[in-house]
Amino acid sequence: MNPTKNNNHLLNDNLNLCSLLLFVLTLLFSAVLLLLLAPAVWPSPVTLPLERAFPTNHGVELSQLKAWDSVRHRRLLQQTTTTYVVDFPVRGTFDPSQVGLYYTKVRLGSPPREFHVQIDTGSDVLWVSCGSCNGCPETSGLQIQLNYFDPGSSSTSSLISCLDQRCRSGEESSDTSCSTQSNQCTYTFQYGDGSGTSGYYVSDLMHFASIFEGSVTANSSTPIVFGCSNLQTGELTKSDRAIDGIFGFGQQEMSVISQLSSQGIAPRVFSHCLKGDNSGGGILVLGDIVEPNIIYSPLVPSQPHYNLNLQSISVNGQPLPIDPTVFATSSNRGTIIDSGTTLAYLAEEAYNPFVNAIVAAVPPSVRTVLSKGSPCFLISSSVSDTFPQVSLNFAGGASLVLRPQDYLIQQNPIVDGAVWCIGFQKIPGEGITILGDLVLKDKIFIYDLAHQRIGWTNYDCSLSVNVTASTGGGRSEFVNAGELSGSTSLQDGPHKLIHIGVMAFFLYLLVL
């Protein structure tokens, strides 16, 4: 060890410390000097008139002021910050004998209340049951507690009037209308199964979990517009699969994905991965799941639903004799991706060749029977070894490959075997092809609205995924099935802001 070298190091360290202190003192002295000279150097202040932003005849809740400020702050930062990955838990299964739907939870209002809502890519609006609802079930066979939203009990709730621009955006569709007597923006939705709901629109806070740069924020919130249902009909009135409402993930302006995107909170892309086993569940995120094997097909433009251009169907690699015009998009034809549909549906011209090809590919030892109009098969071996592979071939060269489990449904097991029935249903005459949960499960599906395309790949939805808030790639976050994961504490966010604020202050002094 060299004592002289150590002394030199100490001397250099002391000199560096003295230089740093001198630099800081110089900055502080310059700041004080500028403040003293400011009246003489800077021009006299300009007086600007101020107007009250809130009415004086009644008070405004602090929570509502904070909500408005939060939206404004996000708008100010849109050009310099990145949107967040937003996570929703997933429950339910595709199996009609169990649940027959996938649903998630949303928290609305102040104080927030929790609502279970079906995940539905075939509609646009989020709506929940409200008080004094006619036809709304009071109990659920899904073992969940049903709730009712009460706008009067939320300090941040407000009704949407007919003059509101958001109501005018909704009026572009035939579902939204205005009540001239009450000046309320109202809606009426009819679904493919014959059920329906009607009600009025409200604006209130939606609370959600988000992740950015590894930091999980469980208490994010923003005001959104959603439906308050006071009338339900058809299947929605039944208690066996009753839930609190429907979460529409369509691409119209009234959808939550469009609202959050316009506020700069979430990207114009969302993804889901629905588990197909008995336990169900999966992943649902506002963000782009990053996987190397995802293939894309373009959306048919100017359509109210997620329409893809299905061109042909192949069984064991052989194209079926189906006229392609059966799948062409028109007023009563086309192919729709719809997570709100349990099974899958084909027009009669496509259904018959499809079933005939599968029956022809099954070994002669397999017995074929009819059950409620659907072809069923009694088998004693593996379903994967017995039935052929099916390919749905879309525009852009993208094929959706279906295993037997993706077009068959297992019935109650029998002695020394099992009964499997074709899950695709026939629509008589001309009709729309609908690909529901039977086909969507056990796959990543990405709805890239920014680039007007849908992507997919086979995946084990019990595994974690990489998600990015940018559809062009970039930083990604790990998301587990149904919950966000991150190594950074919730307390890291404020500390990071403090550090950035101190640095910005010194840079400000340096510029002056």
The pair of three-digit structure tokens given for residue 395, joined into one six-digit string: 């525009």
Residues 112, 339, 437, 286: is their CA dihedral positive or negative? Answer: negative
Paired sense of beta strands 101-108 and 215-233, if any: unpaired
Q: How is 53-109 classified by DSSP, letter by letter?
A: SS-SSS---HHHHHHHHHHHHHHHHTTTSPPPEEEE--EEES-TTTT-EEEEEEEET
> What beta strand segments (E) does 191-281 contain?
196-212, 215-233, 245-248, 269-274
Amino acid at 199: G
Residue 120 known to be catalytic: yes
Per annotation, catalytic residue among 87, 120, 406, 448: 120
3-state helix, strand, coil in the chain (%, to 5): 25, 35, 40
Distance of alpha carbon 345 from alpha carbon 343, whole angstroms: 7
Active-site option among 124, 204, 288, 338: 338
347 DSSP β-pair partners: 427
Peptide bond into 364 cis (omega under 30): no
Residues whose CB is less than 8 angstroms from the CB of residue 114 and which lie 6 or more positions away in sequence, other chains included: 105, 106, 107, 147
Check if the beta carbon of residue 199 is closer than 8 Å to that of residue 226: no
State how beta strands 344-347 and 424-427 pair: parallel
Q: CB neighbours (10 Å) of residue 506?
A: 12
334: three-class secondary structure by DSSP: coil
Active site residue 416: no
Cα 290 from Cα 85, distance rounded (Å): 12
The CB density around residue 94, as the number of other CB atoms within 10 Å, is 27
Q: Which residues are catalytic?
A: 120, 338
